[in-house]
Structure 1
Amino acid sequence: MKIVVLAGGTSTERDVSIVSGTKVCEALRSRGHLAILLDVFCGKEGLQAETAFAEEYDVEREAAYIRSFNDSIEKIKAERREFFGPGVLETCRAADTVFLALHGTCGEDGRIQAAFDLLGITYTGSGYLGSALAMDKTITKQLFRENGVPAPAGVIVRKTDSPKSAAELGMELPCVVKTACGGSSVGVYIVHTEEEFSEAVKNGFSYEDKLIVEQYIRGQEYTVGVIDGKAYPIVEISPIAGFYDYKNKYQAGSTIETCPAPLSAELTQKMQEIALKAYDTLRLESYARMDFMMDEDGGIYCLEANTLPGMTPTSLLPQEAAAVGMNFADLCEKLIEVSKR
């Protein structure tokens, strides 16, 4: 198959996306596919769709080319109005499918999915509606509440509200302050004092104009992948220090991840059933990954859904696939197979 692995972009998760895309492209190449790596935003000058899918291809060289734009993203954004980079749409049209290795805004939020639907371009993952619903955690929380998916209590605050304290919002400390549409735990703060709360709100609003102040669940973190309507083995996530933030997600050795999680059969089934309910509630398709907290009394809370889960060497969905005998290349092909629409 001729496959474009679309990565990069403009979100705070650009670097993670490049790693995901590189690994996916290498895996698909190892299976004989004519896969190429392409930055959705920066594209490539002179790229010709009819000659792009070559037998000989240096994935690492292309990844380095994409990274060369990292310091210029804001400058490029200021100079042009169109999001898609040079040659991107033409090459995606020429491909058999596009593997979306994008994370965050303008990648995971439904806008690219909607554009591809209109252009007749086949891609991996959920469609535009489910992607948009899951991206905005304020909408996710409302839908979970209305459909019986257990989630932490929380309130939505906007930049114009300027909350002065957690107490003003009726929230007890400690609590969690997080951006509505962020990813990879960028813009997530666990606060224990009103001073920390004020700082977290200030920092959160530097990313977005909408935040969630949420009940802090003291306990253990888990995640559950769903592929083609089937819940996969659960991963137990135990950071060595702090919580599962950006550093602990992507720095090797920072977190102990156990798959399958050491849970009873009853709790395993319950969490997987909630994952499937969350998946259906958000109108997700093909695959996704739901994140959970379990409190000290065994209460289960669904935090959010990831519609394009990470595909880096330390990512969680590949660990779940491995637990059922599926290696990384198998998983990449499986995600393409279940995404045909």
Structure 2
Amino acid sequence: MKVVVLAGGNSPERDVSLSSGWMISNALAEKGHAVVLVDVYLGIKTPKSGLNSLFLSQPEYEPGYHEIPTTPPDLELLKKLRYPDTGMFFGENVIDLCRLADVVFLGLHGSAGENGQIQAALDLLNIRYTGSGFSGCVAAMDKSITKELLHVNHLPTASWIYLRHPEELHWEMVEKIGFPCVIKPPRGGSSIGVSIPKNKQEFEDGITLALSKSDGIEHDLIIEKYIEGREFCVGILDNQPLPPIEIIPNEGWFDYEKKYQSGLTQEICPADIPAELAQRMQEAALKIHNVLRLGFYSRIDFKVDRDGNIFCLEANTLPGMTPNSLFPKEAAAAGIAYADLCDRIVTNGQSRR
């Protein structure tokens, strides 16, 4: 198949996406697909032989291109790299190139890549793509919507406060949640803008941090009860749960750096837990996947407290596909090699619309 892999973008998770895109492109080329990796925001120049010629040869990607810096990118600097700047999200030739492909593999993370905007645009253009559709992306990307849907469907999630207008925050609200708590931007990812304050000063700093990482759509935030316990993820592939993976940071919590830098976190898959707990998490993950109307694959994140109670942290419509990402490790534990995983995802994307 002719496949365009969209990566990059202009979200704080840009570098993560570029790493995913690099891995996906190489895997699909290995499976015999004609692949073009393109930065959705910066776009690509038209070769003298035309856009279609890009599918005829597999480019040699720069060594180390998949490596992720320890801090999120400078998005203001990124804007200066864009020429010509049309004011649109899509870079030069991106839409035209996607229309030439049999399917678009979405290797995007954060903001427009996961919040349904790109999915809606591709739907309107009748372009096939991988992953969840518009409605599932909206429900999963906005954690306030996710938590409301989990709550009304009696699915486990930690107590929370959603503040559409942070200036309306009163300490009585915070006291109901208690310290430590978790402050996060509702539509963020990769733990960017997340903090776990233990006192009033840290709380105020956390509010400032979360608002500074807002997606610009709304300046809102979530304050969530902190669940003391172990952290797990359960991937869903083709409506089947994958083996749970346990995440054990060497110190602190599972922040941006620990997610993407080797050696900072232990990841055990299959998780060393009782079969009953694994089954409960897998069943909950599949229910959450379906309640949110997610697509061919997703990843559901959990905390498990000391009493064995499970709590959903969030759902990911486009799980990371980097060298350190959790979803491919779960697939590997189920006997699915990385290239085969990518091939299954792209084949589903091409056939489902």
- Classify the TM-score, shorter chain: over 0.9
1:324 alignment counterpart: 334
| Pairs within 5 Å for 1:224-239 | 224-239=234-249
CA displacement at 1:74 relative to structure 2: 3.2
Q: Does 1:59 align with 2:65?
A: no
In the alignment, the residues of structure 2 paired with residue 61 and residue 235 of structure 1 have an alpha-carbon distance, to the nearest angstrom, of 29
In the alignment, the residues of structure 2 paired with residue 161 and residue 78 of structure 1 have an alpha-carbon distance, to the nearest angstrom, of 39
- Count of residue correspondences: 339
Q: Using a 3 Å threshold, how does the CA distance of structure 1 residues 77 and 133 change in structure 2: closer, same or farther?
A: farther
Query: Stretches of 4+ moved more than 4 A in 1?
Result: 61-64, 67-71, 76-79, 164-169
CA displacement at 1:81 relative to structure 2: 2.3
The TM-score, its normalising length taken from structure 1, stands at: 0.94
CA displacement at 1:326 relative to structure 2: 1.1
In the alignment, the residues of structure 2 paired with residue 256 and residue 62 of structure 1 have an alpha-carbon distance, to the nearest angstrom, of 23
Report the 3-state secondary structure (helix = DSSP H, G, I; strand = E; otherwise coil) of the residue aligned with 1:226. strand
1:34 alignment counterpart: 34
2:169 alignment counterpart: 163
| Pairs within 5 Å for 1:253-268 | 253-268=263-278
Deviation string 1:40-70 (CA, Å, 9 cap, x unpaired) is 1110122533212022422338959xx9997
Q: Does 1:279 align with 2:289?
A: yes
Is contact 1:165–1:198 with CA below 8 Å preserved after alignment? no
In the alignment, the residues of structure 1 paired with residue 118 and residue 225 of structure 2 have an alpha-carbon distance, to the nearest angstrom, of 32
CA displacement at 1:158 relative to structure 2: 3.2
CA displacement at 1:78 relative to structure 2: 11
In the alignment, the residues of structure 2 paired with residue 167 and residue 145 of structure 1 have an alpha-carbon distance, to the nearest angstrom, of 19
1:10 alignment counterpart: 10
In the alignment, the residues of structure 2 paired with residue 23 and residue 142 of structure 1 have an alpha-carbon distance, to the nearest angstrom, of 35
Q: Does 1:85 align with 2:95?
A: no
Q: Does 1:111 align with 2:117?
A: yes
2:185 alignment counterpart: 179
Q: CA RMSD in A?
A: 2.2
Q: Using a 3 Å threshold, how does the CA distance of structure 1 residues 116 and 167 change in structure 2: closer, same or farther?
A: closer
Q: Does 1:121 align with 2:131?
A: no
Supply the AA of the counterpart residue of 1:336: V
In the alignment, the residues of structure 2 paired with residue 62 and residue 86 of structure 1 have an alpha-carbon distance, to the nearest angstrom, of 25
In the alignment, the residues of structure 2 paired with residue 168 and residue 224 of structure 1 have an alpha-carbon distance, to the nearest angstrom, of 30
Report the 3-state secondary structure (helix = DSSP H, G, I; strand = E; otherwise coil) of the residue aligned with 1:81. coil
Report the 3-state secondary structure (helix = DSSP H, G, I; strand = E; otherwise coil) of the residue aligned with 2:92. coil
In the alignment, the residues of structure 1 paired with residue 74 and residue 181 of structure 2 have an alpha-carbon distance, to the nearest angstrom, of 37
- Give the gaps of 5 or more residues in structure 1: none
Is contact 1:178–1:188 with CA below 8 Å preserved after alignment? yes
Q: Does 1:197 align with 2:207?
A: no
Q: Using a 3 Å threshold, how does the CA distance of structure 1 residues 186 and 143 change in structure 2: closer, same or farther?
A: same
Is contact 1:100–1:124 with CA below 8 Å preserved after alignment? yes
Supply the AA of the counterpart residue of 1:137: K
1:94 alignment counterpart: 100
Report the 3-state secondary structure (helix = DSSP H, G, I; strand = E; otherwise coil) of the residue aligned with 1:106. helix
In the alignment, the residues of structure 1 paired with residue 288 and residue 101 of structure 2 have an alpha-carbon distance, to the nearest angstrom, of 32
In the alignment, the residues of structure 2 paired with residue 325 and residue 286 of structure 1 have an alpha-carbon distance, to the nearest angstrom, of 18
Q: Does 1:74 align with 2:84?
A: no
Supply the AA of the counterpart residue of 2:195: Y
- Give the gaps of 5 or more residues in structure 2: none
Identical amino acids, percent of aligned pairs: 46
Is contact 2:270–2:333 with CA below 8 Å preserved after alignment? yes
Report the 3-state secondary structure (helix = DSSP H, G, I; strand = E; otherwise coil) of the residue aligned with 1:60. coil
Match among 40, 50, 53 for residue 52 of structure 2: 50
Supply the AA of the counterpart residue of 1:50: N
Match among 128, 139, 144 for residue 133 of structure 1: 139
Is contact 2:181–2:223 with CA below 8 Å preserved after alignment? yes
In the alignment, the residues of structure 1 paired with residue 74 and residue 270 of structure 2 have an alpha-carbon distance, to the nearest angstrom, of 39
Report the 3-state secondary structure (helix = DSSP H, G, I; strand = E; otherwise coil) of the residue aligned with 2:114. coil
Is contact 2:105–2:129 with CA below 8 Å preserved after alignment? yes
Q: Using a 3 Å threshold, how does the CA distance of structure 1 residues 56 and 215 change in structure 2: closer, same or farther?
A: closer
Match among 142, 148, 158 for residue 142 of structure 1: 148
Is contact 1:134–1:307 with CA below 8 Å preserved after alignment? yes
The TM-score, its normalising length taken from structure 2, stands at: 0.91
In the alignment, the residues of structure 1 paired with residue 325 and residue 103 of structure 2 have an alpha-carbon distance, to the nearest angstrom, of 23
Supply the AA of the counterpart residue of 1:74: K
